[in-house]
Structure 1
């Protein structure tokens, strides 16, 4: 069964999906008039709360929506996902993660703007957003099968199995094995159940509790991680420039791992970027669709900051840490354990504990937010009154994720993400003219407001 999952994931992440995410995202980037660059400053002002409207319809503020989305994306994809990218595709994969991130900023702008433009109501009459509602409300009922496909893949792909797997590994390596306390599979089961209970306390409180916790955790976890990484980069400062140059060189030669297979390096970078920042997958539009914002364009602008924070900043810092310490050539190859080796090499003694705390917060914050995504997908398919049943299924699978092998877990999530990307990108490209019209109108009003 595990081999079938791995084979399916490798197949679906072939050229068609790469063309859809990278090619489709590039079209949106050009179609927007390079908006991620030209309106970046305005997006930062929105994030600062300058345009918040407390009377707007929705469940959470735009900043809380961004924090929740970032809590889901700035996570283990930035720690172990980057390590997997380097071990699989070489350092050159990081360059293609950068390219995917800038393309992804445009994709998130379009998908999250649409999430507010075409909000719909669930079976209980509550206002909701996300690709499934965009497809039904914006494209019409005849396109509803796309919405169903998205939600079915979302129910399975947005489980916290990867986070549970990697958090279990870190706790075992850092806290248990050195003291002879690791009991193999028994330890995995115990840690899985413990994580399940901890996550249950938050997610059973709904999106408002999830957003409240995420908005407190995100600044803390990003600061802790930044400080730790900067200490390592300062210690190996003579290696930083050469590492950046090697990333660029390897992106076009692929000689580090793939023996010159540049196409494989590009696929690896795009695949890991999609897992890391989720641009084009359709997760962020679900939480941004719950924002208290009467201006869809503003929501899209604040949403596009996510891939920049996630991939351009956090993933780059992780990649440099792995490279300057040299562990990518001689250290662990199993996801988070490679990054753990880099931290231990960069900050002997304390480094592994810094990373363990960061991984703990990263993993838990992602687990909290993913439950909301799957909850919305389940509610769309089976009714809002039954959506809470999903939470119990979600919690049980956390235990399974702690026990199953990393390769199977990663391939399963990748495969479901790929299926989700097709409806999301098709709807974004189909409705792109509506977003462009709304963008022109919004900035025309902003310009005239200043006069």
Structure 2
């Protein structure tokens, strides 16, 4: 464990300090400008598309694809990650979470649109993602395999350890249940679902995610209303700590920016290359539709759910004591607002958020295992290893698990962001095609021939 901490720490610092933050900000702005501020211009359209019905019985609906991605997005990053960001970077970290989300909405649009363009048919479902567009658009299958391995390690194994770690820590603190018991229960429940295939995964995520997220946001709104007179001071605190002279002199602005962007990316996953795997499953008439839906997903995750946690913690004003961090800080903060029942609510919320993330994360790995080798034996090996890592996470040291998650997330993001810059022109043309048809009052329908020279878009060829 000591060796892993010694190795992972410096690698994390290098990737996040010198590479990833700059790339995320620069490309987020670039995609925002090149799409003519798609996240603002078509914000209303996103809500219309999320409830649109699928064309036929194949694949899943836009909303179901949204819930698969939301299951992965809305998890420990929203509750534990925000608490860690504020604990390390102060209230100013929240501002940078907002910034990375707002510009990240454009990045999310690009990668999810590309996933739709280059998706493939798999029986009565669709699958796709960065590994697929690396192979089909760039002819770089080996790079696709590297990314698929990284994503499988990240989401199927490391990130699922993070989720089970948070559940076990929360339940152990609140209910006094031994970590190994919690881990065993999670393994059984996860096994029942993941061995049932994508259809069972969709049924679970479309039920759990909306209900739990709604309850959590309502609790946060109640706390905000009860402390309404302090809200202007909270906004002032967030902004002043993001840019204040005290933070500049003391180096705190760097910590705020790094933690805000790091935890923001972990939560909303914009640019990481994970969400496109869910986006590709949707059965839509135009690739830009799912791009817009997944762009909305970034807004929902960070601007709504993460902000709910941030306001709960900042209004409680105990984050500076250093006595609690992560999920325990969120629980303690909510307890100050609503009483002794709060830790129980947070523990239950974490159970649903994190468990749905385990299911969503598993699916991301599954579709990439299929990219590498569709052999059922490999899939069963993967499923067993996922269950092993869920148990490991329930017993592991939290700092090491989070550090490994940061490292793998950073490596994935660097590869995916480089690729979507190269393929961005395809997504821009797809968006233009969508916009032209909408201005004519049509329901946009995409054909591969709409973009001269487009190759590898097999699902969009010969469409009527």
TM-score by length of 2: 0.90
Mapping of residues 56-135 of structure 1, within 5 Å? 58-120=58-120, 127-135=126-134
Residue 213 of structure 1: aligned partner? 204
| Aligned counterparts of 2:121 and 2:400: Cα–Cα separation in 1 | 36
Residue 405 of structure 1: aligned partner? 397
Counterpart secondary structure, 1:383: coil
Asked whether the 8 Å contact 2:111–2:273 carries over to 1, the reply is yes
What residue ranges of structure 1 are gaps of 5+ in the alignment?
Answer: 177-181
Count of residues in Structure 1 that have an aligned counterpart in Structure 2: 436
| Aligned counterparts of 1:296 and 1:131: Cα–Cα separation in 2 | 15
Once the two structures are TM-superposed, the CA of residue 255 in structure 1 deviates from its matched residue by 4.2
Mapping of residues 319-358 of structure 1, within 5 Å? 319-330=310-321, 332-358=323-349
| Aligned counterparts of 1:296 and 1:81: Cα–Cα separation in 2 | 31
Mapping of residues 412-451 of structure 1, within 5 Å? 412-449=404-441
Residue 461 of structure 2: aligned partner? none
1:276-310 CA-to-partner distances (Å, cap 9, x unmatched) read 00001111100110111131011101110111000
Once the two structures are TM-superposed, the CA of residue 88 in structure 1 deviates from its matched residue by 1.1
Q: In the alignment, does 2:260 pair up with 1:269?
A: yes
Asked whether the 8 Å contact 2:54–2:62 carries over to 1, the reply is no
| Aligned counterparts of 2:407 and 2:329: Cα–Cα separation in 1 | 24
RMSD (Å), alpha carbons? 2.0
Match of 1:8 among 8, 11, 15: 11
| Aligned counterparts of 1:73 and 1:257: Cα–Cα separation in 2 | 31
| Stretch moving more, 91-100 or 196-205 | 196-205
Once the two structures are TM-superposed, the CA of residue 28 in structure 1 deviates from its matched residue by 0.7
Counterpart secondary structure, 2:392: helix
Counterpart secondary structure, 1:308: helix
Shift in CA distance, 378/104, structure 1 to aligned 2, threshold 3 Å: same
Residue 306 of structure 2: aligned partner? 315
Asked whether the 8 Å contact 2:267–2:302 carries over to 1, the reply is yes
Asked whether the 8 Å contact 1:253–1:260 carries over to 2, the reply is no
Asked whether the 8 Å contact 1:165–1:406 carries over to 2, the reply is yes
| Aligned counterparts of 1:293 and 1:343: Cα–Cα separation in 2 | 41
Asked whether the 8 Å contact 1:149–1:419 carries over to 2, the reply is no
What residue ranges of structure 2 are gaps of 5+ in the alignment?
Answer: 444-464
Residue 54 of structure 1: aligned partner? 55
| Aligned counterparts of 1:174 and 1:435: Cα–Cα separation in 2 | 47
Once the two structures are TM-superposed, the CA of residue 256 in structure 1 deviates from its matched residue by 6.3
Once the two structures are TM-superposed, the CA of residue 127 in structure 1 deviates from its matched residue by 4.3
| Aligned counterparts of 1:192 and 1:393: Cα–Cα separation in 2 | 14
Once the two structures are TM-superposed, the CA of residue 388 in structure 1 deviates from its matched residue by 3.1
TM-score by length of 1: 0.92
